[in-house]
Amino acid sequence: MSQIDLYPLKFEPIYQYRLWGGRRLAELLSAPLPGDGPIGEAWLLSDRDDQTSHVANGPLKGQTISQLMEQFPEQLLGKLAGRFHRFPLLLKFLDVSKMLSVQVHPKDDNTDLLPAGETGKTEAWVVLKAGKESRIYAGLKQGTNADNLQQALTKGTVADHLTYFTPELGDGIFIPAGTVHSLGNDVVVFEIQENSDVTFRLYDWNHVDAKTSKPRPLQVEQALSCINFKQGEVRPVAPVIEEVKPVLRERLFLCKHFGLWRLNGELPFNIGEKGKPRVIVCIDGDGQLESNNTKYEVNIGDVLLIPAMVGACIFQPHTSAIVLEISLPE
């Protein structure tokens, strides 16, 4: 196994039941949705103990991302090898047919709220589908504090304290840890986040889980203790245009946890960086990724991890394509 040269690695999606989900992820991914119930999330690249992604192509097919991190640290991560005990990002598609719970994620320094081995959870979204009734709640209205938010919980009026907007296709929204947020009413997003699964629900819109016939548990005390009450209104980011030809390259997010660029083009373009790992996710169209004189088909919904030893590649759209390029924390 150690003699295998790494190559662009595709991964199989991991579908997750969520009571607020729908069935529209079938439009984004070729792997069939299980059953006929609501599927709210597809985990595209996950290095979690209970949910680990498997390679879907080539000689390493069937291997997990955890196994690759252990067996090929330098080839996979380059200079970043040894910095992470697991792959540092968790990537998802979300189909939020109803409303996601009003929730908050802890920061890295909220150590008293983090289970052993967990980090905080800063995340960001790229809107893939939205309607006139879709909503994104993010940030608190001026004057909101722990006392009046606690009162609103007893009255069921939490939404009155949240700022919101109607999302549009292509919007990028950055959600720092500590930000109260929710989204839904028929919105589909790509989500990038720290590799953490710590969420504290503040309010759940009176949802009842069809599987249990009960409301889901809340974590009000923990949520209130990690809210950033100075976090005001959150709006879509303004993309930074870094290149126009042969591809429109826009930087949406660049923070200490991840970077994300959106590349939109019809002509062949470079993607990835020499000596560094990158992840690419195709969110529209299709094409081929060329590396080391080998071509890899890339369809809408596909996620590929480009190992550091592979470096920069060429992406050739079949007609046109929109691809997200993601960097790891350095």
C-alpha–C-alpha distance, residues 261 and 52, integer Å: 25
C-alpha–C-alpha distance, residues 10 and 91, integer Å: 13
- 0.85 exceeded by the pTM? yes
C-alpha–C-alpha distance, residues 296 and 315, integer Å: 9
Percent of the chain with pLDDT over 90: 94
DSSP 158: G
Give the pLDDT of residue 85. Answer: 87
Which strand (E) or helix (H) includes residue 223? helix 220-226
Give the pLDDT of residue 107. Answer: 94
Give the pLDDT of residue 15. Answer: 98
Reported as a single tens digit per residue, the pLDDT across 160-201 is 999 999 999 999 999 999 999 999 999 999 999 999 989 999
Mean pLDDT value across residues 131-151:
96
Answer yes or no: is pLDDT of 159 > 90.
yes
Name the residue type at position 184.
Answer: G
Give the pLDDT of residue 291. Answer: 94
Reported as a single tens digit per residue, the pLDDT across 220-251 is 999 999 999 999 999 999 999 999 999 999 99
Coil/strand/helix, residue 71: helix
Give the pLDDT of residue 2. Answer: 57
Structural domains of the chain, ranges and CATH numbers in brackets? 9-226 (2.60.120.10), 240-327 (2.60.120.10)
Give the pLDDT of residue 1. Answer: 55
Reported as a single tens digit per residue, the pLDDT across 61-88 is 999 999 999 999 999 999 999 999 899 9
Give the pLDDT of residue 162. Answer: 97
In degrees rounded to 5, what are phi and psi of residue 73? -60, -45
Answer yes or no: is pLDDT of 281 > 80.
yes
